[in-house]
Amino acid sequence: MTVIPIGPFMIRADIAVFLIVALAGYMTLRVRLHRLEHRDWLLDTYVYSLMIGFAVWKFGMLLWDPVRTLRHPLSLIYMTGGVRGIGLGSLAAGIYVLVRWNKMRSLGSLLIKSFLMAALAGGFGYILLDGLITDRPIGAGQLLVMLLLIVLLSSAWLKFDTPLPQWLTFGLGRNGAVMLVIGSLLVWAVYNHLNNSGNGSTGDRPALTDDADGIAVGLKPGKRAPDFALQTVDGQDVRLSDYRGRTVLLNFWASWCPPCKAEMPYMEDFYNRHKAEDVVILAVNMTHLEGSMEDAASFVHSNGLTFPVLYDRDGTVTGTYEITAYPTTYVLTPDGVVSGRYQGAINEELMVKAYRRASGS
C-alpha cells in the first residue's frame, strides 16, 4: 500500500484506484446507455451500490473492532476495513442490487449487462493502475489480460442490444463461449506465472541468500536496508544491524502527524501480541521535524509505547530512507532485506500479513 501526493494532501492509493475504476465503469455505462429509457435507473443502481460497498469497506472496522476504533477515531479517516471490509462491502452492495432488481424485474437483463460491462471497463482500469500499488511496471502478463478485456468490452459494447443469452456468449454460441473461457483461463495462468516470476526477483517476496554479504544495499524489495545508528531518549546507541536475525518493522513517524497518531495504537497492540516471536518494531522519530524532542517523548509516554523508539535529530536517516509520506514503514526480513514498504497508516491486519511474509512464517 502506498499514498499519492495531491498538492499538500495525501490519498491512499487503494482508495484512488477504487475511485478511478468506479469512474471508468460509470463513464462506460453513461455513454453506452445513452438514450436508453431506463438509463437513469441503471446508473443510480450502479452508483449507489458502489457507494454502499465503499462505505462498508472504509468503515467496516466499526463492526468487528468497535471498542478500539471508537477509542482511536482517527483510524476511521486513515485506515480501511481491509480484506474483511471488502467482502462485507461486496455483500452489502449485492444485497442492494437484488433489492433494486426485485422492484424492476423486467430490467434484469439490462442490469446484468450493465454491471458486467462496467466490470470489464473497471478491470481494465485496475490493471492499468496496478503500478500504483505494486510499484512495478506493466508486464507482459498484464498486457495480455488488458488486451483480452478490450476485446471482451468491445464485443459487449457492440452486441449490447442482443438477447441476454446471446450477449453472454458474445454471439459465439455455447461451444464458442466455452473455448473463450478456456482461452481466458490460459491467459490468466500465463499472467500469474509471469507475475509470480517477477515477484521472485524484484517483487514483495525477496529471495534470501546464504551469502548475506552478497546482497546489495538499497531501498527496493530484495535489497539490504541501509544500516544506521541512532540514540534512544536516554542516549543509548542502537544500530539497525543489532536486530539481524529478527523481522523488523522500521517505522518513521512524527508526533504532530495525524495518520501517525492513528497508527501507533495498532502498532503497540501488534507488538504486544507478537513480541514473543522474532519480530521487533523500531520506531524512528523524525525529530528534526518536531517542535522539540520533548514533544516526541511526551507522545511516546502518553501512548504507552513499549517498543524501541529512536530519535533522528538531524534527519540523516530519514533522508537515507527517502521518507516523503508520514508515516512510512519498511518491513525487513531476518537477513535485513527489504520485504515491503508501506506509506501511510496501516492497521494491525496488514502488519500481521507483512510480518508473516517477511519472516516466512
Q: Please determine, for residue 133, whether its predicted confidence score (pLDDT) is greater than 70.
A: no
State how beta strands 229-231 and 237-239 pair.
Answer: antiparallel
Of 183 and 315, which is predicted with more confidence?
Answer: 315
When pLDDT is averaged across residues 181-205 and rounded to a whole number, the result is 60
Domain ranges of the chain: 3-202, 212-359
CA 184 to chain CA centroid, Å, is: 26
Average pLDDT of the residues in 342-354: 91
The H-assigned helical ranges of the chain are 13-32, 39-59, 61-64, 66-71, 75-78, 82-103, 108-128, 131-134, 140-158, 164-168, 173-202, 258-274, 293-302, 316-320, 348-359
DSSP 66-128: HHHHHHSTTHHHH---HHHHHHHHHHHHHHHHHHHHHH-GGGHHHHHHHHHHHHHHHHHHHHH
Q: Give the pLDDT of residue 43.
A: 97
For residue 241, give the DSSP letter. Answer: G
In order of 29, 166, 208, 241, the CA distances from 198 in angstroms are 35, 39, 15, 28
Taking 50 as the threshold, does the pLDDT of residue 251 lie above it? yes
Backbone angles phi, psi at 9, to 5 degrees: -105, 160
What local confidence, expressed as pLDDT, does residue 207 receive?
42
Confidence of residue 204 (pLDDT cuts 50, 70, 90): very low
Distance of CA 175 to the CA centre of its chain: 38
Q: Which pLDDT belongs to residue 138?
A: 66
Mean pLDDT, range 119-128, rounded to an integer: 90
Q: Report angle CA 185, 15, 322 to the nearest 5 degrees.
A: 100
> In CATH, which of 3.40.50.460, 3.40.30.10, 3.40.50.150, 3.30.450.20 is domain 212-359?
3.40.30.10
- Torsion angles phi and psi, residue 89, rounded to 5: -65, -40
The Cβ of residue 198 has, within 10 Å, a number of other Cβ atoms equal to 17
The pLDDT of residue 200 is above 90: no
The dihedral built from the CA positions of residue 301, 247, 133 and 212, taken in this order, carries a sign that is: positive
Instruction: Report the mean per-residue pLDDT for the chain.
Output: 87
Residues 142/146/148/153 CA torsion (nearest 10 deg): 160
